Amino acid sequence: MIEIRDLHKRFGSVEVLKGIDLDIEAGKVVVVIGPSGSGKSTLLRCINHLERPDGGYVRVGGEFVGYRVVGDRLHEVREQDLCAARAAIGMVFQRFNLFQNMTVLDNVTLAPRLARGVDGQEAERKAMALLERVGLAGKKDRYPNRLSGGEQQRVAIARALAMEPRVMLFDEATSALDPELVGEVLDVMRGLARDGMTMVVVTHEITFARDVADEVVFMDRGVVAERGPPSQVLQAPREARTREFLARLL
């Protein structure tokens, strides 16, 4: 479902991604772990072209994100095509980023109406079903700043799902939450995984990685240092730096 080839990204003189190759099958959950500054978030942001990679490419569902191929070269695509590609990739942020100027319901219906041209009633019906799913249908008329962090993040997940994405990216979705609110967000993510959503999850929640991940990717200094099933990477890591990182985390 996701194909990442030789992905490079540099910010000024710092090379954050030094050639990442990764394939993720449909329906799989990949958890990316690693020390801060290892390039986990940048990798996620390159998948939907929030950051334009300096080299390499990403394909989601067989289609290039941000590029098309003419002859043997990648060409940048027009804005509409890039937006269409992004619409198929849901993203959940560390700081929720709910639209502050709209109610919960409008947050969820906005993108389907604007980017997909879904009509208002239909968008609202689907939004309510999604809010029901994350347990927040009763708060549809609230503004985001009146919700707890956990509630905001669950709305953010519903908002991303409203575009019916083929994959979901989670960028440290629970890192900004109070400890007692982490569980409710992880539960929603577990439910998604159970329903067969393809997910790439950057997180520090090792328990979540152990329970839910089909594969754990350990990143360090811009490269994939180790990858494999959670039982191997988390319990019997081959690489010394993976062991070091896990030791510090526990």
Position among 143, 187, 204, 228 found at the interface with another protein (CB under 8 A): 143
Count how many residues are written for the chain: 250
Position 98 contacts another protein (CB under 8 A): yes
Pick 174 or 242: Cβ nearer another protein = 174
Q: Distance (Å, rounded) from C-alpha 134 to C-alpha 112?
A: 18
Strand partners, 18: 8
Position 93 contacts another protein (CB under 8 A): yes
Instruction: Provide the b/e sequence for 200-235 (b: ≥16 CB within 10 Å).
Output: bbbbebbebbeebbbbbbbbbebebbbbbebeebbe
Pick 87 or 137: Cβ nearer another protein = 87
In the complex, least distance from residue 121 CB atom to another protein, rounded to whole angstroms? 19
Position 64 contacts another protein (CB under 8 A): no
In the complex, least distance from residue 204 CB atom to another protein, rounded to whole angstroms? 20
Pick 93 or 208: Cβ nearer another protein = 93
- Nearest CA-CA partner of 111 in 84, 147, 81: 84
Q: Distance (Å, rounded) from C-alpha 55 to C-alpha 61?
A: 20
Position among 62, 71, 73, 79 found at the interface with another protein (CB under 8 A): 79
Position 146 contacts another protein (CB under 8 A): yes
Backbone phi, then psi, for 74, in 5-degree steps? -80, 135
Residues of the shown chain interacting with another protein in the complex, contacts defined by CB under 8 A: 48, 50, 79-80, 83-91, 93, 95, 97-101, 110-111, 114-115, 141-143, 145-146, 156, 159-160, 163
